[in-house]
């Protein structure tokens, strides 16, 4: 479905995508990466808005640049807003379907159906300027699916949606996948992707760091130092205790917080309550920094550079 061969995209001296090689068959994929990781650049390359500085991009076997035939089979919902404020959602989606090649009547039907699918029917004849962020997001999605494309590419589709809106959009996308259609969507929030698909592409610094299922990604993390921060009433005593027990590799103290790096997080979590009870140290807050997506990417970047 999508094939990138050693693709590099430079904006002057800034690297957007760095030597990216990828081959995706039909299916649903989540493109996961922190802000500024190159997700939007990658999607712009796949949708033919950008030309790779090096390498080649193929979508359904064809170059996406100025490819009218491909654009008939592609639906794209960008991350930026860019809606006309003075027209209604119906007029705007209908207009874009006419640009897709539909007649006025067919475009009207397609627009109404797509807006209905994303729950915008009651508001579709109101001016877009009066819409909330979530309503705009739904309208953006409607324009991407109205012409019934084979591949749907979404950039941060959940952005600005409330929990109900997220749930409804998740249903729409799951139904879409059930129809046997392909989906590639970018997000910087892990659980958004997990709710739609188990196939991940992890991108950071313009590089593809890892790909596979969620289990594959977690498996890669086994054996990597896990960073845990603990706020307590006696940080020096807690740090020396954990080092003495040889459960942590390093420890640092800032004010009342001890931050440790461990390759045995399970043992630490299991034994920590007993140590605290025996020593009388009171821990008021504890969190694993590695639960954050950025930490995961930092670890993968270090692996990528051979530092781990």
Partner 1 sequence: MGNVGAVFMFEWKRSLTLPRMAWWLVLAGFPIFIIGVIRFSINASMRENGLPDPTPRELWIGFLFALGPMLVTMLGTMLWVTPALSAELERRSWVYLSVRPNGGTAVLVGKYLAAVTWVIPPVLLGLAVAVPLSGASNGWQIWWTMARLVLLSTPAYAAVYLLLGTIMPRRGMVLAVGYSLLFELVISFVPAVINKLTVHHRLQALLLQWCELDIPPEFMSGAISLIGNTPPWQHVAILLLYPPVLVTASIGILRACEFSSSAESDV
Binding residues (CB under 8 A) for partner 1: these are: 11-12, 14, 16, 36-38, 40-41, 44, 47-51, 66, 68-69, 71-72, 74, 76, 78, 80-84, 86-87, 91, 95-96, 98-101, 103-104, 107, 143, 206
Nearer to partner 1, 80 or 278 (CB): 80
Taking the complex as a whole, how short is the minimal distance between the CB of residue 143 and partner 1, in angstroms? 6
Nearer to partner 1, 102 or 238 (CB): 102
Nearer to partner 1, 50 or 272 (CB): 50
Taking the complex as a whole, how short is the minimal distance between the CB of residue 63 and partner 1, in angstroms? 13
Taking the complex as a whole, how short is the minimal distance between the CB of residue 37 and partner 1, in angstroms? 8
Taking the complex as a whole, how short is the minimal distance between the CB of residue 33 and partner 1, in angstroms? 11
Nearer to partner 1, 71 or 158 (CB): 71
Taking the complex as a whole, how short is the minimal distance between the CB of residue 201 and partner 1, in angstroms? 16
Distance CA 281, CA 300 (A): 34
Which tokens hold the place of 34? 């922190």
Distance CA 85, CA 17 (A): 33
Nearer to partner 1, 84 or 218 (CB): 84
Nearer to partner 1, 156 or 227 (CB): 156
CA quadruple 76, 82, 87, 93: dihedral, nearest 10: 0
Nearer to partner 1, 259 or 298 (CB): 298
Taking the complex as a whole, how short is the minimal distance between the CB of residue 156 and partner 1, in angstroms? 11
Taking the complex as a whole, how short is the minimal distance between the CB of residue 18 and partner 1, in angstroms? 11
Nearer to partner 1, 50 or 201 (CB): 50
First to last CA, the chain: 33
Nearer to partner 1, 50 or 161 (CB): 50
Taking the complex as a whole, how short is the minimal distance between the CB of residue 81 and partner 1, in angstroms? 6
Taking the complex as a whole, how short is the minimal distance between the CB of residue 35 and partner 1, in angstroms? 8
Please list, residue by residue across 263-287, b when 16 or more beta carbons sit within 10 angstroms of its beta carbon and e when fewer do. ebbeebeeebeebbeeeebebeeee
């Amino acid at each position: 479905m999508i094939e990138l061969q050693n693709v590099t995209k430079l904006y002057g001296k800034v690297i957007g995508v760095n030597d990216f090689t990828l081959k995706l068959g039909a299916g649903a994929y989540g493109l996961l990466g922190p802000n500024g990781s190159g997700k939007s650049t990658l999607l712009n390359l796949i949708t033919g808005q950008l030309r790779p500085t090096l390498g080649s991009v193929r979508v359904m076997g064809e170059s996406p640049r100025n490819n009218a035939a491909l654009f008939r089979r592609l639906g794209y919902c960008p991350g930026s807003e860019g809606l006309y404020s003075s027209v209604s959602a119906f007029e705007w989606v209908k207009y874009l379907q006419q640009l897709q090649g539909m007649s006025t009547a067919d475009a009207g039907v397609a627009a109404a159906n797509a807006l209905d699918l994303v729950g915008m029917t009651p508001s579709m004849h109101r001016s877009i300027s009066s819409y909330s962020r979530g309503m705009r997001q739904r309208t953006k999605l409607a324009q991407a699916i109205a012409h019934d494309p084979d591949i749907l590419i979404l950039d941060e589709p959940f952005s600005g949606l409330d929990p109900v809106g997220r749930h409804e959009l998740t249903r729409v996308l799951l139904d879409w996948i059930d129809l046997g259609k392909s989906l590639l969507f970018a997000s910087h929030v892990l659980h958004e992707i997990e709710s739609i698909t188990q196939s991940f592409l992890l991108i950071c610094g313009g590089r593809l760091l890892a790909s596979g299922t969620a289990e594959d990604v977690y498996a890669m993390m086994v054996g990597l130092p896990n960073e845990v921060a603990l706020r307590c009433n006696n940080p020096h005593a807690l740090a020396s205790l954990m080092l003495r027990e040889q459960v942590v590799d390093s420890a640092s103290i800032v004010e009342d917080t001890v931050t440790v790096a461990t390759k045995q997080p399970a043992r630490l979590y299991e034994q920590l309550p007993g140590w605290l009870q025996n020593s009388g140290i009171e821990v008021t807050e504890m969190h694993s920094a590695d639960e954050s997506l950025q930490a995961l990417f930092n670890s993968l970047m270090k692996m990528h550079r051979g530092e781990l």
